[in-house]
Structure 1
Amino acid sequence: MAEDVKTKIKSHQTALFDSHFLNHSQTRNCWPNHLDFHHCENAMTAEGGAIPMCKWYRHVHKSLGSISWELAWDDCQAEGIFPLKI
Structure 2
Amino acid sequence: MLDIASQKPPKGRWSTPPFDPRFPNQNQTRNCYQNFLDYHRCVKNMDRRGQSTQPCEYFFRVFHSLCPMSWVQRWTEQIRAGTFAGKI
The answer (yes or no) to whether the contact 1:44–1:50 under 8 Å persists in 2 is: yes
Percent identity between the two aligned chains? 37
Residue identity matched to 1:37: Y
The answer (yes or no) to whether the contact 1:33–1:58 under 8 Å persists in 2 is: yes
What is the count of residue pairs matched by the alignment?
Answer: 76
Structure 1: gaps of 5 or more residues: 1-10
SS of the counterpart of 2:43?
Answer: helix
Q: Which residue of 1 aligns with 2:72?
A: 70
Structure 2: gaps of 5 or more residues: 1-12
Question: How far off is 1:45 after superposition?
Answer: 0.3
What CA distance in whole angstroms lies between the structure 2 residues aligned with 1:45 and 1:21?
28
SS of the counterpart of 2:38?
Answer: helix
The structure where helix makes up a greater share of residues is: 1
Q: Which residue of 1 aligns with 2:85?
A: 83
Q: Which residue of 2 aligns with 1:44?
A: 46
SS of the counterpart of 2:22?
Answer: helix
TM-score under structure 2 length normalisation: 0.79
Q: Which residue of 2 aligns with 1:56?
A: 58
